[in-house]
Amino acid sequence: MKVHVDLPEEDRGCMRRHPDKEPDWKEVFAFLEYLRTTGKTNMFGATKYVEFYLDVPKDKAQELTKEWMFKGKQKALMEVLHG
């Protein structure tokens, strides 16, 4: 899977803090928030970035991205409800 044509394969997983462990949710959420602020992709296209930069299987990347999106909706709703 290539995210970008100029992206070298040796960069796969480069955003993981601990290459020998799966990234925890804080690491994933921080990466997704960073990705969102860059404007590189809309967040519906974020799965491929999670898969590549955090070096997780596609199904796990989809699960993590969906969870982040759901948490973001919850946060936005709480801000609306509580000012």
Comparing 4 with 8, the larger pLDDT belongs to: 8
Q: What is the pLDDT of the chain when averaged over all its residues?
A: 84
57: helix, strand or coil: coil
Structure tokens at 12: 């796969």
When pLDDT is cut at 50, 70 and 90, the band that residue 57 belongs to is: very high
- pLDDT confidence of residue 5: 46
Range from 24-28, 36-40, 52-56 carrying the lowest mean pLDDT? 24-28
- pLDDT confidence of residue 25: 83
